[in-house]
Amino acid sequence: MYRADDITFDAAGRRLLDGATAVAVPGRVTVLIGPNGAGKSTLFKVLAGELRPRHGRVTLAGADIVGVPPARLARLRAVLPQSVHVAFPFSVAEVVGIGVADGRHGQARVERALARVELSGLMGAAYDRLSGGEKQRVQLARTLVQLEAGDGPGYLLLDEPTASLDLAQQLLVLRLMRELAEEGVGVLAVLHDLNLAAMAADEIVALKGGRVAARGTPADVLTNARIAELYGITARIGWAPSTPFLLPQSAQR
């Protein structure tokens, strides 16, 4: 398992995370939700090894990731951050194959990954000319190549992977997350959209004020009381058929 346990993180004299725990489990999809400023991206960056916690540990298969060499870490887990800046005029295929395009195998992996995100037609296109949503799917394809070239199914961390995608592409990403989990990958994603979270997640972890406010199945977590506590709104909750969906109603006064 890939665990961030009891994480406390401070910045600029503020406690951004306060004893938060999140776990990516092979074969399962875990989704982090919570209001703006809850600490989701901070916890994500701690998990990814980008930020060092003040207290708590991040471990992969029992080993503290601090001691895992970066090249080994890259073969065990792939990370899709919220935004990626590509400074050079690379083609789509070059971005997708960054770091792992080893000859014929690399080329085949790049082609497979682009087909999975339905962007085969853009293989030779200039990355910097793509739309925001296309860039996001190209970056997702990059993580697929990285996982395929890695040691074992591995783990995939996604920060807001559906942020600039239309409805069809959101569903594509959800379907990919599920397929990867079925292939044994441990998937952990930050999602804002609670309906997408309900559709995607085996387990939801809800953060508020840097603490875990709730965790469990979508049906456990997405209740009226929790939604009010987390977001200060009321919501109408329906079922489709056993997955909850939410219609936000009004801010609580």
The residue range among 20-28, 35-43, 118-126, 225-233 that interacts with ligand ATP, by the rule CB under 6 A, is 35-43
The one segment of 33-41, 128-136, 147-155, 238-246 that binds ligand ATP by CB under 6 A? 33-41
237 membership: H or E segment, kind and range: strand 233-239
Check binding of 40 to ligand ATP (CB under 6 A).
Answer: yes
Q: State which of residues 1, 11, 66, 115 lies at the interface with ligand ATP (CB under 6 A).
A: 11
Q: Which is nearer to ligand ATP, 17 or 76 (CB)?
A: 17
Q: Does 162 bind ligand ATP (CB under 6 A)?
A: no
**Total of chain residues touching ligand ATP, rule CB under 6 A:** 12
Contact call for residues 164 and 6 (beta carbons, < 8 A): no
CA separation for the pair 139, 120 (Å, rounded): 14
Helix (H) or strand (E) run with residue 64 in it = strand 63-64
Q: How far apart are CA 48 and CA 209, in angstroms?
A: 20
> Residue 24 and residue 153: Cα distance in Å, rounded?
13
Using the rule CB under 6 A, give the single segment among 8-16, 97-105, 130-138, 243-251 that binds ligand ATP: 8-16
Segment contacting ligand ATP (CB under 6 A): 12-20, 62-70, 103-111, 218-226? 12-20
Return the structure tokens found at 211.
Answer: 């603490």
Which helix (H) or strand (E) segment holds residue 55: the answer is strand 55-60
- 14 is a contact residue toward ligand ATP (CB under 6 A): yes
Instruction: Determine if 16 is a binding residue for ligand ATP (CB under 6 A).
Output: yes
34 lines the binding site for ligand ATP (CB under 6 A): yes
**Least Å distance between CB 125 and ligand ATP?**
29
Is residue 197 at the binding interface for ligand ATP, with CB under 6 A as the rule? no
Q: 148 vs 160, which CB is nearer to ligand ATP? A: 160
Tell whether the torsion through CA atoms of 212, 216, 217 and 218 is positive or negative. negative
3, 7, 23, 41: which one binds ligand ATP (CB under 6 A): 41
Burial of 124 (0-12, 13-18, 19+ CB in 10 A): exposed
Peptide bond preceding 69 in cis form (omega within 30 of 0): no
Torsion sign (Cα): 173, 195, 215, 210: positive
| Rounded least distance, CB 65 to ligand ATP, Å | 19
The residue from 2, 4, 29, 39 that contacts ligand ATP (CB under 6 A) is 39
Residues that bind ligand ATP (CB under 6 A): 11-12, 14, 16, 34, 36-42
